[in-house]
Structure 1
Amino acid sequence: MSHANGRKLVIAISSRALFDLGDSHEVFEAEGLEAYSRYQIDHENDVLTPGDAFFVVQKLLHLNDQLEGEPRVEVILLSRNSADTGLRVFNSIEHYGLKISRAAFCGGESPYRYVSAFGCHLFLSTDADDVKHALDHGIAAATLMASKTRSDHGDQLRFAFDGDAVLFSDESERVFKQHGLDAFTEKEKADARKPLSGGPFKEFLAALQSLQKEFAHDLVPPIRTALVTARSAPAHERVIRTLRAWDIRIDESLFLGGMDKGKFLKAYGADVFFDDQKSHCDSARGHVATGHVPHGIANEFIPEDT
């Protein structure tokens, strides 16, 4: 397959999302930075076990093996480790044959500030504060929640997205939260031909589709996408027309009308699902790997009336 000119899909991943660093993190929590550093150096030749994002990263990098020319996917490692203590991470990367060459080791400070500098489309981390900072700076980001499940679709990579506050802005969700379902439904009917504004994951989805187009002639394309939303008719029309206006195609669209998403995500076989509502993520993580997107009204603190 020939290589089409275009931007790379660039994913930033924290070391704790890529590998299971639970044991060493416990040392840090109990004994502090010096003990943690000593532990990592003493164990730098011990291979780390895969973390929550490992298999997604593995599938992403495998896409480069299916295309000719320059790599179209790059994964950047961002870590709070120092370069010295991070040697164990790179030794493990080499052990698993992951083609990751760029990294930022931040010596205990948050690495989110390098996400934009590397030109990343997505940042995956287990640190909610780092994720929130990345979102605040206009980068698609999610906090990975531990899950013991894996997709069984071989090398095919399946992403699933919630709609409002993830792919789209939270403008409609605000109406629902503040005024109820009837007001939401009426507004969506009235604005059915008015495209929604983009949410934090719009640009990532657009970059992902650009990559999908390079596999357009494959009988079984290696990337598949799904919209999994609590919306139902008649609120579905605005979503469909919005994606059409953006010239973005989704392979599958599930309008569940408030039904629990978990079993549908399992049936779809998502490698990772992104949602803004923590309760939805808690439900989904029992079926698929899940990333919480702390964005929009569902993640704002609203004080109770006094």
Structure 2
Amino acid sequence: MAVNFDEKLVVAISSRALFDLDESHAVFEREGVDAYCAYQIEHENTPLQPGTAFPLVRKLLALNGNNLENPKVEVILLSRNSADTGLRVFNSIKHHNLNITRASFTRGESTHKYIPAFGADLFLSSNPEDVQQALAAGHAAATILPSTVELNTSEQLRIAFDGDAVLFSDESERIFKQQGLKAFSANESAAANTPLMGGPFKGFLAALHAIQAEYPSEQSPIRTALITARAAPAHERVIRTLREWNIRIDEALFLGGMDKGAFLKAFGADIFFDDQKTHCDSAREHVATGHVPHGVANE
């Protein structure tokens, strides 16, 4: 019987985002691919330590509870390793008791081409090139940055998003970049009743919302937040857009250009997605952060 992921949240992740592969990657950078392969085979029974996105993946898989017959979430490994060197990754998955059973090993080739084949709603990687190609193909994707991941004891999965060029298109951000804040504010006030077009992460947010909708709001295992540099009067269009999409967002912070890091720490985000490097640099001092190289800020 064919397996169907249509009703699941599917997250694809690279091995370097899931595990700490800095030591072996340094071997690759210093001595080349053959030395890297030999190193991984020699250490294939030595478990890899958790990487930046490991706590996120653990919480995603925890959404399944004991329901392994019909899980809500599927995590797929997309790795540039070969199957031979990838054995260490699978051994580490087993060691850490992660229910990840499907993988693609491409031996140096870009992995993004398998995102639609697996039906992934989100792709996380430490390789910016793979992420850019995934975004160009219309998939939600982010580069996992080296981050300070503070211990989060809450069992609830908490995900925070920037707005423009992430949840929404960059149509308004282009006006801000090209014409300034005054023109941006005037445009958003005039278009307050016109929904923004969706950005690359609209589908991922919708998939999270579908899981949330199965629970009373006070019992949801997922909590989401919009943390944006927008402020009044540009807030109204955002609120009306989410209402038009019929997508729930639990918290909305309109910061008017303030640094986002302290607010993400207060929210307790397991991960934050933003298109602008400056915001990512503030965020990654406190929480796992994914840079979304999309839109006018990245041109």
Please tell me the TM-score bracket, short chain as reference.
Answer: over 0.9
In structure 1, what is the Cα distance between the partners aligned to 2:96 and 2:138? 32
> 1:153 deviation in Å?
4.1
Alignment of 1:182-261 (within 5 A): 182-214=182-214, 216-217=215-216, 219-261=218-260
In structure 2, the gaps of 5 or more residues are none
Letter in 2 for 1:103: A
- Match of residue 295 from structure 1: 294
Letter in 1 for 2:175: V
Letter in 2 for 1:276: D
TM-score, structure 2 as length reference: 0.96
Contact in 2 for aligned 1:195/1:245 (Cα 8 Å): yes
Alignment of 1:27-46 (within 5 A): 27-46=27-46
Alignment of 1:8-157 (within 5 A): 8-65=8-65, 70-157=70-157
In structure 1, the gaps of 5 or more residues are 301-306
- Match of residue 164 from structure 1: 164
- Match of residue 175 from structure 2: 175
Contact in 2 for aligned 1:150/1:271 (Cα 8 Å): no
> 1:220 deviation in Å?
3.5
Pick closer, same or farther for the CA change 1:219–1:231 going to 2, 3 Å: closer
In structure 1, what is the Cα distance between the partners aligned to 2:204 and 2:298? 21
SS of aligned partner of 2:64: helix
Could you report, residue by residue, the CA deviation over 1:2-40 in whole angstroms, capped at 9, with x for unpaired residues?
Answer: xxx961000000000000011110111111111110100
SS of aligned partner of 2:63: helix
Letter in 2 for 1:108: G
Contact in 2 for aligned 1:145/1:292 (Cα 8 Å): yes
Could you report, residue by residue, the CA deviation over 1:194-240 in whole angstroms, capped at 9, with x for unpaired residues?
Answer: 000000000000011001112x2374421000000011111100000
In structure 1, what is the Cα distance between the partners aligned to 2:283 and 2:70? 36
Contact in 1 for aligned 2:52/2:149 (Cα 8 Å): no
- Match of residue 270 from structure 1: 269
SS of aligned partner of 1:89: helix
4+ long deviations beyond 4 Å: 66-69
In structure 2, what is the Cα distance between the partners aligned to 1:66 and 1:74? 14
Could you report, residue by residue, the CA deviation over 1:143-178 in whole angstroms, capped at 9, with x for unpaired residues?
Answer: 011112235242111000000000000000000000
Contact in 2 for aligned 1:151/1:269 (Cα 8 Å): no
In structure 1, what is the Cα distance between the partners aligned to 2:53 and 2:152? 15
In structure 1, what is the Cα distance between the partners aligned to 2:54 and 2:286? 17
In structure 2, what is the Cα distance between the partners aligned to 1:150 and 1:66? 27
- Alpha carbon RMSD of aligned pairs, Å? 1.4
More deviation, 70-79/149-158 = 149-158
TM-score, structure 1 as length reference: 0.94
Contact in 2 for aligned 1:153/1:269 (Cα 8 Å): no
Letter in 2 for 1:267: A
Letter in 2 for 1:226: A
SS of aligned partner of 1:116: helix
In structure 2, what is the Cα distance between the partners aligned to 1:238 and 1:66? 41
Of all paired residues, the percent bearing the same amino acid is 67
